[in-house]
Amino acid sequence: MVKLVIGNWKMHGRQASNSALLDELLAAPCCDAVNVAVAVPSAYLGQIGVRLAGHRMGLAAQDVSRFAEDGAFTGEVSAAMLADMGCRYVLVGHSERRQYFAESAEVLAAKMHHVYASEMLPVYCVGETLAERESGRYVAAVLKQLDDVAVELAGREQVIVAYEPVWAIGTGLVASPAQVAEMHEKLRAALVHIAGASCNISLLYGGSVKADNVDEIFALPQVDGALVGGASLNASQCRKICLAASN
């Protein structure tokens, strides 16, 4: 099965480097596959959206406002605006947002709601901290994050969840295949329960995914794709990850 690969550029890029990176990616047929997207800073959604016109590679946003209606919310970008710019996916609840912007369960549920209402797909990120992993409470911690938005997942046709252990993000530490398989199995069982048996569920893994570890992650039958941070800024790494996804 072809995997979904989303590159999360985080707060990186300038117009010139963005174009150079996309030129290299779009020249590689494996990166312009239907299940590849780039989550770019909101300042560059216009630039990248124009560049991706006519390509299969999708556009994704890294965050969305908790407010749906246009109004006096300085600095915010609504789901309707992201849809208008051509976004297909929106990251919701990335651990960096949870950590630095203290996003509550209520805010995350509102964001999920608005993304679905604007006919895009949220990529809901979950993951335990190192303390939670070491205490043995990691499954409960991650499933609690699903419960926080359960009302927004119930009855959906399609749900995308990215399991990203906080201790593996940007650290070079990648979760072992057994750790990924265990958590993905728990997540899938919980999602079938929450979203319903007919829901099309995609479970991505994220956390230090690189060209040299992606094969063992994608070899796991529990994994439907990857959310890639640092390596997505490097064209050659990105090409190898996309190629692995299409095998």
Give the residue numbers marked as catalytic. 94, 164
* Nearest residue (CB) to ligand PGA, 61 versus 80: 61
19: its two tokens = 């174009």
Among 26, 98, 28, residue whose Cα is nearest residue 59:
26
Report the relative pairing of strands 4-8 and 225-228 from DSSP bridges: parallel
> Among the candidate windows 113-121, 150-158, 205-213, 216-224, which touches ligand PGA by CB under 6 A?
205-213
Q: Is 169 in the site for ligand PGA (CB under 6 A)?
A: yes
Q: In 3-state terms, what secondary structure has residue 58?
A: strand
Q: Is 208 in the site for ligand PGA (CB under 6 A)?
A: yes
* Start-end of H helices in the chain: 15-26, 45-52, 79-84, 95-101, 105-117, 130-135, 138-148, 150-153, 177-195, 214-218, 235-246
Q: Residue 6: what residue type?
A: I
Quick one: which of 8, 18, 78, 202 contacts ligand PGA (CB under 6 A)? 8
Quick one: which of 57, 207, 223, 225 contacts ligand PGA (CB under 6 A)? 207
Residue 17 beta carbon to ligand PGA: minimum distance, rounded to whole angstroms: 17
Q: Is 170 in the site for ligand PGA (CB under 6 A)?
A: yes
Quick one: which of 164, 180, 187, 214 contacts ligand PGA (CB under 6 A)? 164
Q: Report the interface residues with ligand PGA, using CB under 6 A.
A: 8, 164, 169-170, 206-209, 227-231
